[in-house]
Amino acid sequence: MKFRTRLEKTSGASAVAIGNFDGFHAGHKKIVEALFKTARHEGLRSVIFTFHPHPRIFFKQPIQVISTDSQRREILRRLQPDYLFFIDFASVADCPAASFINDILIEKLQMKSLIIGHDFHCGRNREGDPAFLRRQAAITPFKIIRTPVIRSGGLRIASSEIRKKLAAGAISEANRMLGHPYAIEGLVEKGAGRGTKIGFPTINVSTANQILPAGVFHTQTVIGKQRLPSVTNIGFAPTFSFAQSVPIKIETHIPGFKRMIYGKKVTILFISKIRSEIKFDSSRSLAKQISMDITSLKI
């Protein structure tokens, strides 16, 4: 696989899949499956073309993305296309749709087939809609392969719907749409030590992920090559905090885990929600509830 952060000419004719791939959900998976199938059947290079940052972030429009740029890059690299272009969006933000198709996709990537999702647009002001693509394909012949809408629980699977589910703490529903557990990653930092004092030490995680669902969750914590069952609380630790302006905390208890891993990178996979965060009248009551939360893990 060739990973590129700048445009360059591919070594042969290609099939190209374009998208933001935020969260890399079940719909994105269908696009990539169609890409590899097309490339294999037609003897083409497989190319995934994406951007950073997300266009809505670039244009300062409100959005909380599901995945960090680092997570998207690693997910797409693991797919092993022939080429992965991870391009600075500023370099193409003002490119007219016709130039994007002709100068980038056809001239640079030697595109013969374009694989897109149901809501694909390209070019300045999103002017390159499916009708425009069909007109371009008639002028400079290339195939357009549009993957079908994928649904879960009656809802169209889309990054926008998954963001809503995650923000509401509906982890199980979000995971069904994603096709994998929601994940955040970050570095372990030193906390206040309150978990240790009540018998349930936690690792405290600082993350660049934007969507932090509030509550207590069944999780799996990935440390190096280990994937360990855990309980994660995201919130403001109301049993110990009296101010309303304290920063949100990510605190994960891993039963039986005793290593000191300050500064280490961890990934937390969200499996299901146990309960909402609540204020207990004492640390003893909190410890009793945490014990019940751990028991529900069925380790």
The model carries a pTM of: 0.90
CATH class of the structural domain 2-152: alpha beta
Residue boundaries of the structural domains of the chain = 2-152, 181-295
- Distance, in Å, from the CA atom of 265 to the CA atom of 269, rounded to the nearest integer, reads 13
The CA distance from 83 to 65, in Å, is 24
Cross-strand pairs, 8:
none
Pairing of strands 226-235, 249-253: antiparallel
* CB-count exposure of residue 217 (10 Å: 0-12, 13-18, 19+): buried
> What is the rounded CA–CA span in Å between residue 163 and residue 214?
13
The C-alpha angle 144, 63, 7, rounded to 5 degrees, equals: 45
How far from the centroid of its chain's Cα atoms is residue 184's Cα? 8
Q: 2-152 with 181-295: one CATH topology?
A: no
| CA nearest to 72, candidates 97, 89, 91, 90 | 89
If you ran DSSP here, which 8-state letter would residue 247 be given? P
Q: What is the pLDDT along the chain (299 residues), one digit of tens a residue?
A: 999 999 999 999 999 999 999 999 999 999 999 999 999 999 999 999 999 999 999 999 999 999 999 999 999 999 999 999 999 999 999 999 999 999 999 999 999 999 999 889 999 999 999 899 999 999 999 999 999 999 998 889 999 999 999 999 999 999 999 999 999 999 999 877 776 767 688 999 999 999 999 999 999 999 999 999 999 999 887 666 654 556 789 999 999 998 999 999 999 999 999 988 877 666 777 777 778 888 877 65
The two beta strands, 226-235 and 215-223, are antiparallel
Q: What is the CATH number of domain 181-295?
A: 2.40.30.30
Contact 230, 253 (CB under 8 A): yes
Bridge partner list, 153: none
Q: What is the spatial distance between Cα 274 and Cα 64, in angstroms, rounded to a whole number? A: 24
CB-CB contact of 166 with 182 (8 Å) = yes
Vertex 241 angle, CA 240 and 245, to 5°: 165
Query: What is the rounded distance in angstroms from the CA atom of residue 62 to the CA atom of residue 75?
Result: 24
